Amino acid sequence: MSTPPAPLRVTLVNGSFEEPTVTNYEILPDASQTQAPKRVPGWLTTASDHMVELWHTGFLGVPSADGAQFAELNANEVSTLYQDLPTTPGTTLYWRLQHRGRLGEDTMALDIGAPGSTVEQGRFSDGKDAWGQYRGTYVVPAGQTLTRFAFRSLSAAGGNRGIGNFLDGIFFGTAPHVTLHKEAIPAGPLEVGEVITYRVTARNEGGGAAEALVLTDVLPPGTTYVPGSLRIVDGPNTGDKSDAPGDDQGSYDAGANRVVFHLGAGASAAGGGTLLNTETLPGGTTAEYRVRIERAAAGRLISNTATASYENRLGETPEALTARSNEAVTEVRPAADLSVVKAADATTVTVGQTVTYRITVRNAGPNDATGVRVTDRLPDGLVLLSAEGTGDYDPDTGLWSVGDLAVAATAALVLRAKATVAGRIRNTATVLGNETDPDTGDNTDSVTVCVEQAPSCCDPCSPGK
């Protein structure tokens, strides 16, 4: 299914109690105590002393469930630990927590709702030997723009008000929401044969992590993939990527004419990884590849979009989501493949005879040619008698102005000149147009005429002269 428009992002601050770092355990001021040099970010407590208790994993033999630290709900007294978060009415919020008793079976409640009118979502009782894992969803009611997420202590083994109810691995927030931004570099307009670098940035504007993130980009018509150009330029696993099958996160699928990137932390040749939200990873992750512009794209706009698939794993079962990038458009200048052929009716004449040259210009496309011109200046030893054909010929400059030439069209010029000097006379014609010529190998052609003294060929026409 497609990703719906992103609601206001909701995500807890310091959900797994990793800040600040503690040794063994510490009882610290909550986030409201801004004057305290060391306090617990994000979390507030209803305790009269505003204190929150954090433990480091392994202290008194208790391991953390997530990361290196966890919290004890009962610090110095029975209390409620909570955060208030801006929310969008109608949004589905996911919650996840891990709970454990300290001395025996401890019980707490999860309350969610508007501050002052929260609703109990469930009660959780766990012993001291293992972490219990729980998850669920909450739909923000109409008109509720501020939502409290709270843990309320109900009972603890041993009866000590300052002991009980360990918490860790807490999540409360919106689903992942990946957005894609695509760039075509340089912006253009470009010529046939030039290279476009496509760069796509994926950001997770949601709350939870985007899992199994795979970016797919089908090459636009009129382009070909540049081998070895796959690269992750920013974010997790930054570095050059080869095209060796199964080597790493990027590959070119020649059969489908597309590039595929497995993105995010932990991504590999086998699948996509994890992309955290932009609060944790503001820049997201960026991948790029290059294509070369082919003749078929001349005179056109090349348009390209990328797509991404990923999963929301906050619920009981993974939810498949997709994202689509903006359209990257590149203008390609027109191209016309011009060629010229030059021939002489006779390649051996005598002094005083007429040399007849026939010059033909052809446009093989893919676009119409404009401003077509041929440079064909008669060499010394020839005096122009006539010029007949398409366009105008200037004998002083040797410029034949052909004008415009449609695709597959030809233009011809016949030059007649009187031979005045014996010897080998080489004459060259060169064609140019206003458009890019994708193949200049046939833009020039030459012909050599031997002019002899009557009645036989003179020494100047001997080989090597």
Region 319-335 average pLDDT: 96
Q: Which of 331, 358, 382 is the last residue of a domain?
A: 331
Given the structure tokens 């208030």, which residue do they identify? 84
Can you give the pLDDT at residue 16? 94
Q: What is the pLDDT of residues 18-40, one digit of tens each?
A: 999 999 999 999 999 999 999 99
Phi and psi torsions of 228, nearest 5°: 80, 10
Percent of the chain clearing pLDDT 90 (strictly above):
87
Residues 327 and 351 in one domain: no
Q: How far apart are CA 275 and CA 286, in angstroms?
A: 11
- Number of helices and strands in the chain (H, E): 0, 35
Q: Are 200 and 217 in contact (CB under 8 A)?
A: yes
- The chain-wide mean pLDDT, for the chain, equals 92
Report which of residues 238 and 397 the model is more confident about.
Answer: 397
Can you give the pLDDT at residue 2? 47
3-state secondary structure of 297: helix
Q: For residue 121, is it within any domain?
A: yes
Region 325-335 average pLDDT: 96
Can you give the pLDDT at residue 465? 41
pLDDT at 440 over 80: yes
pLDDT at 124 over 50: yes
Given the structure tokens 């990257």, which residue do they identify? 328
Residues 50 and 123 in one domain: yes
Query: For residue 207, what are the CA distances in angstroms to 9, 171, 249, 361?
Result: 6, 9, 25, 64
Given the structure tokens 């903006």, which residue do they identify? 326
228: part of which helix (H) or strand (E)? none
Residues 146 and 274 in one domain: no
pLDDT at 47 over 50: yes
Residues 320 and 257 in one domain: yes
Quote the domain boundaries for residue 218. 178-331
Q: For residue 18, is it within any domain?
A: no
Number of domains in the chain: 3
Kindly report whether the global pTM for this prediction surpasses the value 0.85: no
pLDDT at 462 over 80: no
pLDDT at 1 over 80: no
Residues 324 and 344 in one domain: no
pLDDT at 456 over 80: no
Tell me the pLDDT band of 245, cut-offs 50, 70 and 90. very low
Q: For residue 66, is it within any domain?
A: yes
DSSP string, 19-30: -S--SSEEEEE-
Can you give the pLDDT at residue 5? 56
Tell me the pLDDT band of 455, cut-offs 50, 70 and 90. low
Region 217-224 average pLDDT: 96
Residues 323 and 367 in one domain: no
* CATH number of the domain to which 183 belongs: 2.60.40.740
